[in-house]
Amino acid sequence: MGAINFSNALGIHDDALQLRSRRAEVLANNLANADTPGFKARDFDFKSILAEEASKQSSAGLSMTTTHEGHMAIGTSGADSELKYRFPTQPSIDGNTVDAQTEQAEFARNSLDYNATFEFLNGKFKGMRNAIRGE
Amino acid sequence: MSLSSVLNIAGSGMAAQSIRLNTTASNIANAESASSSVDETYRARKPWFSVMEKEMMAPSRDSNGMMMVDEAMGAGVKVDGIIEKDAPLQARFQPDHPMANDDGYVYYPNVNVVEEMTDMMSSSRSYQMNVEVLKTAKQMLQRTLTLGQ
Q: Is the model's pLDDT at A128 over the cut of 70?
A: yes
Is residue B13 less than 8 Å (CB to CB) from chain A? Answer: yes
What values do phi and psi take at B92, rounded to 5?
Answer: -115, 140
Q: Under an 8 A CB cutoff, do B9 and A25 touch?
A: yes
Could you report the per-residue pLDDT of A67-83, keeping only the tens digit for each?
Answer: 777 766 554 444 445 78
Q: Computed from CA positions of residues B17, A80, A47, B70, in that sequence, does the dihedral angle turn out positive or negative? A: negative
Mean pLDDT for chain A overall: 80
- Per the CB < 8 Å rule, is B76 touching A32? yes
The answer on pLDDT for B12 being more than 70 is: yes
Residues 67-86 of B with CB under 8 A from A: 67-77
* Average pLDDT rounded to a whole number, residues B37-59: 78
- Selection from B6, B4, B23, B126 nearest residue B76 by Cα: B6
Q: How confident is the model at residue A4 (pLDDT cuts 50, 70, 90)?
A: low
Test mutation, A13, A21, A29, chain B, max B CBs within 10 A: A29
Q: What 3-state DSSP class applies to B6?
A: helix
Return the domain boundaries, chain A. Answer: 11-58+73-133
Check CB contact of B122 with chain A, cutoff 8 Å: yes
Q: Which residues pair with B108 in a beta bridge?
A: B90
Chain B residues closer than 8 Å to A69 by CB: 61, 65
Confidence (pLDDT) at B57: 40
Task: Give me the DSSP letters along A53-107.
Answer: HHHHHHTTT-SPP--STT---TT---GGGTEEEPPPSS--TTS----HHHHHHHH
Top mean pLDDT of B34-43, B51-60, B136-145 is at: B136-145
The residue type of A27 is L
Cβ-based contacts of A61 with chain B (< 8 Å): none
User: ∠B26-B29-B31 over CA atoms, to 5°?
Assistant: 105
Res A86: pLDDT: 85
Specify which residues B77 forms β-bridges with.
B51
What is residue B51's predicted lDDT score, i.e. its pLDDT? 87
Does residue B65 contact residue B132 with C-beta atoms inside 8 Å? no
Digit-coded pLDDT (tens) for A79-123? 445 788 888 888 888 888 888 889 999 999 999 999 999 999 998
Q: Which of A21, A29, A122 sits opposite B73 (nearest CB)?
A: A29
Q: Measured between CB atoms, which of A32, A72, A111 is closest to B65?
A: A72
Q: Quick one: closest CA in B to A126, which residue?
A: B148
> What phi, psi does B35 have (nearest 5°)?
-150, 160
CA distance A114 to A127: 20
Is B19 a residue whose pLDDT tops 90? yes
**Pairwise pLDDT comparison (B39 vs A52), residue with the higher score:** B39
Report the SS3 class of residue B147.
coil
Residue B43 · residue B34 · CB < 8 Å: no
Q: Is pLDDT above 50 for B94?
A: yes
Chain A closest-CA separation from residue B57 CA (Å): 14
How many CB atoms lie under 10 A from the CB of residue B12? 22
CB contact under 8 A, B143 and A76: no
Run of H or E residues at B90 = strand B90-93
**Nearest CA to B20 among B41, B43, B40, B44?**
B44
Our CA angle for B129, B5, A24, nearest 5°, is 60
Q: Is the pLDDT of residue A62 over 60?
A: no
Contact of B91 with A99, CB cutoff 8 Å: no
Chain A / chain B CB contacts < 8 angstroms: 134
Strand, helix or coil at A125?
Answer: helix
Q: What is the pLDDT of residue A94?
A: 87
Report whether pLDDT(B32) > 50. yes
Q: What is the CB neighbour count within 10 angstroms for residue B104?
A: 12
Q: Compute chain A's Rg from CA coordinates.
A: 19
What pLDDT is stored for residue A80 in this prediction?
Answer: 45
Cα distance between residue B12 and residue B79, in whole Å:
9
